[in-house]
Chains A and B, each alone.
Chain A
C-alpha cells in the first residue's frame, strides 16, 4: 500500500502521481493522509486503483472519476464525484451540494446526508444516499438511479427526463413534471442490487419510485424542430 501525507506533498503532485497509474499498475492501493478539506483531491483518475482519503475533503473530490474506487473517511465538500464516468466513490460522512452532478456512470455512495442539488443533471450515474437529501435534487436528471434511504427535500426531480428516483422516507415536495410511479418487478430488481452494492440494509419494498410524467414542452413531438 502506498501512503502519501498531503501535509508533505503538494496537491498537484499527489494528483499527478495518481494519474501516472496505468491500467496495469501493481500499486493498486493508495492512502492520502491529512486532506484537511483541500480541493480537487483524486480528481480525474483513470485506472483501476483504490484511493482512501483519511479525512474530509473540499470542492470537487473524485471529480471525473473513471475506473478508480475512492473512499472518503470523512465528509465531502461541494461537487464530489462531479461528472463521474465509472468506478465507485464512497463517502462515510455527509456530502455538500451537487454531489454526483452530471455523472455519466459509476456508483456514488453517501453514508450520511447529501445537501441540495444532489444528482443534478445526472446522466447515467447511480447514487445511493443512506440519509436524507436536500432541495432541488435530481433537477433535469437524464438517466441513472438516485436512491434515498431517508427523506428528500423540496422540488425533487424538477424537469427530469428518464432518471429513476427511489425514496424510502418523505418527499417534501415534487418538482415540476415529477410524479410518483408504479414500482414494478424490474425496478425492485435494480433497487435491490443498488442497496446491496451500497451496503444498505434498507428493504426495497419500503421505497416509492418517482419519475418524469413527460408532460413538459420538450416531450411534445410537435415542439421538435
Chain B
C-alpha cells in the first residue's frame, strides 16, 4: 500500500513549521505503511559545502571518532552532527565520492542516506511517529519536504529499503506502487555506471531519473520518459533542490490528492493527510491526472505536461 505526503511552501513564514506540518501528515498515513518511514527535508544551505547524511545500526561505536578519522583521511575539516542513528556530515562540495570511498573502507559499516546542498534524508524501520520522534523532524525548518510510510511488497523491511531514495545531489523520490521491470533496468543502469545499493524497485526508479538527468534531461523530461520506460504501478513524488514534482502511471490505481493555497502546495495519498494544514477548508483540492507530470519550483509558475498513455 504505502503512504506519501509532500509539502512545498510558497510562503516563507511557514518555513519554521515545515517539520511539524510534515510530521503530522506522515503520522496520519501510518495505517497505509506501518513498517518503516522516512522523510526528506530541504533545509538551510551551507555555502560551498555538501551535506551527507549517513546511518549506522551501531551509532555509538560508528560515529565516535568519525570526525577525526574523516578529517585525517580527507585532509580537510569536516562537520558532524549526530542525530540518533544518523549523522549529518558537512564536507567541501565535490568530495562526495572521496567520502564514499573512505566510508566503504571503515570497519564499522556506515550507510549513505543522502547527499546535497540542502537535502537531508532520515529513514528507519518502525512506526512513523517513532521515526519522526527519533530524528526530531517536527523541530526542523525548510522550504519543502517529502515523507513516506512503507508497507513493503517488493523487498525486505530494512533501513535501506525505506523511502525516500536519494541517488543524485539534492534529488529524492518516494513511491507508492510496485515496478515490475526493475531487475532488467537495474542491470542496465549499473552498466551505465549508476550506483544502486539495494534490490528495491523504487531505488531503480530513482536511479532511472538520475541517469536521465545526467544525460541532460530536465526533471520534467525525466518524469515523462519514466512513463514509457517503467512498467508497473506508481505514484511518484520527487524532490529537487528548488522544487517538487508528481507523476502517476497511466492506470492510476494508486491514490493521490493535491491541495494548493497561496501558502503551499501539498500532496497526500489520501485527503485525510491534508486536513490539518492551515487554510485547507478553502484550498483548491484535486486529484492529479494519470500520465501527467506536475511540477512546482520556487522561481517559476506551476506547470504540467500531458503524455498520451
**B-contacting residues of A (Cβ < 8 Å)?**
36-38, 56-59, 75, 77-78, 93-94, 96-97, 115-116, 134-135, 154
Contact = CB atoms under 8 A, between A and B. Distances in A.
A60 to B, nearest CB: 12
Contacts of B307: none
Chain A interface, DSSP helix/strand/loop, else mixed? loop
10 contacts: A37-B274, A57-B271, A58-B271, A75-B271, A75-B285, A96-B287, A97-B255, A115-B252, A135-B252, A154-B309
Chain B interface, DSSP helix/strand/loop, else mixed? loop
B275 A36 contact: yes
A172 to B, nearest CB: 10
A36 B273 CA distance: 9
Nearest to B289: A134
B272 interface: yes
A134 B255 CA distance: 14
A58 B290 contact: no
Interface in B259-288: 270-275, 285-287
B268 to A, nearest CB: 9
B278 to A, nearest CB: 15
B272 A38 contact: yes
A96 B271 CA distance: 11
B287 A94 contact: yes
Interface of B: 250, 252-253, 255, 257, 270-275, 285-287, 290, 309
A138 B171 CA distance: 40
A85 to B, nearest CB: 25
Given A135-B290, A154-B309, A58 B285 contact: no
A115 B287 contact: yes
Contacts of A93: 285
A94 B256 CA distance: 13
A131 B170 CA distance: 40
Contact of B270 (A77, A97, A115, A135): A77
Contact of B252 (A38, A58, A97): A97
Contacts of A134: 252, 290
The 3 closest A-B pairs by CB, nearest first: A37-B272, A37-B271, A36-B275
Given A59-B270, A116-B252, 8 more contacts: A37-B273, A38-B272, A56-B285, A58-B270, A77-B270, A96-B255, A115-B252, A135-B290
A56 B286 CA distance: 12
Nearest to B275: A36
A97 B253 CA distance: 8
A93 B252 CA distance: 20
A198 B189 CA distance: 54
Nearest to B308: A154
A166 B31 CA distance: 39
Contacts of B287: 94, 96, 115
A37 B275 contact: yes
Contacts of A75: 271, 285
A56 B287 CA distance: 13
Contacts of A36: 272, 275
B234 to A, nearest CB: 15
A208 to B, nearest CB: 23
Nearest to B252: A116
Contacts of A58: 270-272
A75 B272 CA distance: 12
